[in-house]
Structure 1
Amino acid sequence: MRSLLVLAGSLALGACQPAADAAETIVAAPPAERIARETGELKTAIFAGGCFWGVEGVFSHVKGVKSAVSGYHGGAERQARYDLVSSGVTDHAEAVRVVYDPAVVRYDELVRIFFSVVADPTLKNRQGPDIGAHYRTALIPIGAEQRAVAGAYLAQMEASGKWSRPIVAKIEPARTFFPAEAKHQDFLAKNPDNRYVERWDRPKIAALERLYPAHYRSRFQRG
């Protein structure tokens, strides 16, 4: 019984939830020196950076993004469930799979937006009020070109002096991405009055519009 109570407590603490004792910093990240050389058809990339609701929400407002799907990356299929992932007992990260048109927005531009308004690259295993390895911040590039851009940008961020603490965001090898349950998809569009959304995610979208007006799309692109 005690172990069940402990697990229940960890589930409650691990889920995306509002809190008043943490703050997030918006940083105008530098333009990438290593520009993504992408042409042709739609591309896919995966980003992990805290609760997937906000990651999905921001990318769903970026011009050129065709879909943003919340899910789980880095663990086994049998454990790819919100109750398990949010408890911290799996190897997954909450992540978002982004499909985008490189003729409209390049991978390096998505990475810059990500580290400007979505995820603080100096926080290890947390973002905002959400704490645990499943909330780690990672770029998950797909293919050699994205890997080259991701590695160069992390190094550029470290050297830029924009952040007062060391960059701890990582690059993770691409593994199977498991879409999250239906209730987590398009969460901001379906739950605009959710307390967590109002406290943590709306400010990120406002920052996207303010810092990157050329990339901002007012319409939410449903995944």
Structure 2
Amino acid sequence: MTKLLSAALGLGLFALTACGSQQPAQAQTKAPAPSAAVLSASTAGFAPKNTAGLAQATFAGGCFWAQEEAFEELKGVKQVVSGYAGGTVPKPSYEQVAAQNTGHAETVNIYYDPKVISYQTLASVFFTASHDPTQLNRQGNDTGPEYRSVAFYRTPEEKKIIEQTIAKVNASKQYDAKIVTQVVPFKQFWDAEDYHQGYYRLHPENPYIEAVSARKVEHVRKLFPQELKQAL
């Protein structure tokens, strides 16, 4: 396992509260109610207004603050929405998910242009750079099934890519342990509350962002410089 990612995910230097628990005092409003018209994709109001020509990819890899920013920085990615997936409770709140009452994991839904970036590249970023897929029901100091690693597939081809990527990464010995990521069919994605959207860029001074999230994002930048947007 690379030293940078190990440091990012194994930090024990600070008594940090879990991802999401440092909600800004002024941002107490929950996400808008879901619309039946968008149930097959994002279920609140954070999806791109125009999704023509875009595909979607959905991954859970610990705190969604870092995952959202890491994928947002990739060329071909139009928008990334933080939310919840993998559970059974509709329209869950952060508090419900954190209390482990829903079965959901903190998840990101990625809207991307497949003509610019492939699903294979997104899967490679997910399994080799944006989080540690060998940690079971945790990412570093964030513990619990809501922080588990999950790759949600929409098609047989996506499932094949995920499984082949897992096999390749395991064979590479990049990590000291085998990947434990769940590979499950996509069913439903629920947008997280509005204060979670774009949190990384809105609150760079947050101690959790500085100590944990920033290192994960930097790891993606280091391993995939050729995939970054030119503006970065």
Same fold (TM over 0.5): yes
- Residue 75 in structure 1 maps to residue 113 in structure 2: no
Q: Indicate conservation of the 8 Å contact 1:17/1:130, yes or no.
A: no
Query: What is the aligned partner in structure 1 of residue 167 from structure 2?
Result: 155
Cα distance in 2 between the residues matched to 1:159 and 1:205: 24
Query: What is the aligned partner in structure 2 of residue 108 from structure 1?
Result: 120
Cα deviation code 1:63-116 (max 9, x no counterpart): 110010000102234461100101222210110000111121111111111122
TM-score after normalising by structure 1: 0.78
Query: Unaligned 5+ residue runs, structure 1?
Result: 1-11, 19-39
In percent, how many aligned pairs have the same letter? 35
Query: What is the aligned partner in structure 2 of residue 184 from structure 1?
Result: 196
Deviation at 1:209, TM superposition (A): 2.2
Q: Indicate conservation of the 8 Å contact 2:19/2:208, yes or no.
A: no
- Identify which of 181, 184, 204 aligns with 2:216: 204
Amino acid across the alignment from 2:76: G
What's the Cα RMSD here?
2.2
- Identify which of 143, 160, 166 aligns with 2:155: 143
Aligned residues: 188
TM-score after normalising by structure 2: 0.75
Cα distance in 2 between the residues matched to 1:56 and 1:218: 18
Q: Indicate conservation of the 8 Å contact 1:61/1:219, yes or no.
A: no
Q: Indicate conservation of the 8 Å contact 1:208/1:216, yes or no.
A: no
Amino acid across the alignment from 2:71: F
Cα distance in 2 between the residues matched to 1:201 and 1:14: 12
Q: Where does 1:116-131 land on structure 2 (aligned, <5 Å)?
A: 116-131=128-143
Q: Indicate conservation of the 8 Å contact 2:65/2:200, yes or no.
A: yes
Deviation at 1:201, TM superposition (A): 1.4
Question: Which secondary structure state, in structure 1, belongs to the residue aligned with residue 212 of structure 2?
Answer: helix
- Residue 52 in structure 1 maps to residue 92 in structure 2: no
Amino acid across the alignment from 2:213: D
Query: What is the aligned partner in structure 2 of residue 7 from structure 1?
Result: none
Q: Indicate conservation of the 8 Å contact 1:71/1:179, yes or no.
A: yes
Query: Unaligned 5+ residue runs, structure 2?
Result: 1-15, 23-51
Over 6 Å off, 4+ runs: none
Cα deviation code 1:105-158 (max 9, x no counterpart): 111111111122211111000012100011000111221221110111112222
Cα distance in 2 between the residues matched to 1:17 and 1:218: 33
